[in-house]
Amino acid sequence: MYVDGLIYILSTFSLTFGNYMFPVLKMDNGSGIRVMDFWNMEQVHCGTHSTSGLYRHDYIDYADVSCISFIYVFYGDTARSLKYTNPTTLKIEEWMSRAAEYTWNGIPQSTDNFIINTFYDYEFIWMNERNDTLYAGMYYTEDNDNYPQFVYSIGGVNFTGSNNPTNVSTVTFAKYLEVYFWMSDSCNISSVNQHLNECPGKVPPIIQTPQTSVLFTSRDNVTLVCSYLSYYPVLDVRWNFDSSENGVRIIITNDIDHTKYSGSSTQVPSLTIHAAELSDQGNYTCSMKNRYGWAEGSGIQINMLTDTSLCQCPCSQVKNGSSYTAEELQVLLSSSLKKLEKELKVDKKLLSSYVSKHVSASDDRQSSRSLGIGGIVCLCLMAAAILGMDLMSIKRHTATAKGICLGRPQKL
């Protein structure tokens, strides 16, 4: 958000027929602030009604639009005014971009142009259909402390495309610009935040750099974050790079090599280093200026991760950085390897896989028990049958054996 300049509000009310005009903004010619930037601030109440300086009433932040019958924009005094009836929004860009219902010349032509932020350096400009006659304008440029300029002409002046109203002949410069709400007396205009947030002093930007260090690998894109708070327009952004390689400081701006860098601009203050390499190591600081001077953020140190930095082994365990052949390592580590092998050797009989092969698993199901008992009975019956048959022939086998022993011939 940008804020720059002097705004002043009157606190007197013009009470008429149950309504009153309530001033919400006043700004001196040449105060150095965009009217719309200042209007669009949030929860800020600046100045007082009786002193000069920035003034913005924080009623703008929460006003009930239905309480506002008209909005008046005054150029210097009440005789030079633009009137907008029945506003539906408090966004200044919206109601000033449409034709005013009334001006100091009466009702404007339906073909007149009311233009916002699109015509040269004018925040607002009112011209005829051909855009060759100027009736009123708010001119602002960041190049000079004498802006904005509030210009008008009762009958209109020739406008030849000059972007600087000081070059327009017979134009009138208003000393200030005011905005008033025409209010119903039943509406509450007390300030919700009780004016706790005052307008800032005229100081350089406040820079915020959340990073303190960044590690990257080769060919990475590295983004260094920089943001700022400035109530006045930021005019320039640059990064200072102090190289670790040679100690040289390099100034990186928006117009430097875009294949290497991007950002470092008022729109994108953060800096991106494309395909970063070892030569990009060093300290980077973001700096910028507004009309009240330069400011510099905290430094950000960036370093590239190399093979050495990726190694997790303590350097003390590496013998002077020496290297050995496979044969030398085998000899040096043989005793350690044998000891390690002995410690890691496991008795196979203690392994669960071995034990499980020699242990029957129990099964408590009734069906399993019945099946097991049936199997045992079958085996016993088979053994009994075989034994029975042997017992039935034992007498015959005994007689045969006895005959052989006595030398008796055997029957064939």
Query: Greater confidence, 399 or 319?
Result: 399
Q: Which of 91-105, 170-184, 380-394 has the lowest mean pLDDT?
A: 380-394
Question: What tokens were used for 404?
Answer: 């052989």
Q: What residues contact residue 354 under an 8 Å CB cut-off, 6+ apart?
A: 348
Mean pLDDT, residues 39-51 taken together: 75
CA 398/CA 225 separation, integer angstroms: 111
pLDDT tens-digit readout, 114-145: 999 888 889 999 999 999 999 999 998 876 66
CA 329/CA 339 separation, integer angstroms: 16
Architecture of the structural domain at 206-308: Sandwich (2.60)
In the three-class reduction of DSSP (H, G, I as helix; E, B as strand; rest coil), residue 402 is classed as helix
Highest mean pLDDT out of 28-37, 164-173, 221-230: 221-230
Predicted confidence at residue 17, as pLDDT, reads: 42
Question: What tokens were used for 194?
Answer: 């009780």
Share of the chain above pLDDT 70, in %: 83
Predicted confidence at residue 15, as pLDDT, reads: 35
Q: Which of 309-318, 341-350, 383-392 has the lowest mean pLDDT?
A: 309-318
pLDDT tens-digit readout, 59-107: 888 888 988 999 999 998 767 899 999 888 999 999 999 999 999 888 9
**Quick one: CA torsion of 157, 158, 163, 164, rounded to 10 degrees?**
-50
Query: Greater confidence, 29 or 285?
Result: 285
The pLDDT confidence band at residue 377, using thresholds 50, 70 and 90, is confident
Q: Which of 32-36, 51-55, 67-71, 257-261 has the lowest mean pLDDT?
A: 51-55
Predicted confidence at residue 61, as pLDDT, reads: 85
SS3 assignment for 28-39: ECCCCCCHHHHH
Query: Which secondary structure element, helix H or strand E, spans residue 291, and what is its range?
Result: none
Predicted confidence at residue 299, as pLDDT, reads: 95
Q: What residues contact residue 224 under an 8 Å CB cut-off, 6+ apart?
A: 209, 211, 214, 239, 270, 271, 272, 273, 284, 286, 300, 302
Domain ranges of the chain: 14-184, 206-308
Query: Greater confidence, 223 or 159?
Result: 223
